[in-house]
Amino acid sequence: VQTCALPILTETNFEIPHNYCTEKIYKPILMGHPFIAVSNYKFYHHLKDRGYKTFESLIDESFDNIENNEDRLTSIVNSIDKLCQQNLDDFLSRAKPICDHNRLNYLREFGCQPLTRYNILTKFFKKYAETI
């Protein structure tokens, strides 16, 4: 039995009708991973407006157009169930160009500075952990 290895992230907002992105969506984007975001109404639409691509050719993303929170969540779960029935290697192969585009779009939008700060913090915490 094949397992579903797709990052499923829950954004900060699910019920609030305000679109903004947090680090939760940027982590899989920077890692070059496909994702399903459990988020508010039109979240994917907002991503597309900012130049990101979603996986609509591979995943049923009709949930993005559902205003009712309970119905949207049910639709997200159904999309995840369908996705888990697919061949993972085939899915990842077809998702790679979208992931590559999104990573480059992030770097165009924010530059490398957030990555540099992350690396500095990671090194700091590793060095600190060695001292305790």
Encoded tokens for 90? 């085939």
Local structure of residue 16 (DSSP, 8 states): S
The CA distance from 11 to 39, in Å, is 5
pTM as predicted: 0.77
pLDDT digits (tens, 9 = 90+) for 11-65: 877 777 767 777 888 889 988 999 999 999 999 999 999 999 999 999 999 999 9
Question: Structure tokens of 94?
Answer: 């077809």
Instruction: Check: CB of residue 40 under 8 Å from CB of residue 66.
Output: no
Tens of pLDDT, residue by residue over 60-93, are 999 999 999 999 999 999 999 998 888 989 999 9
CB 61 within 8 A of CB 73: no
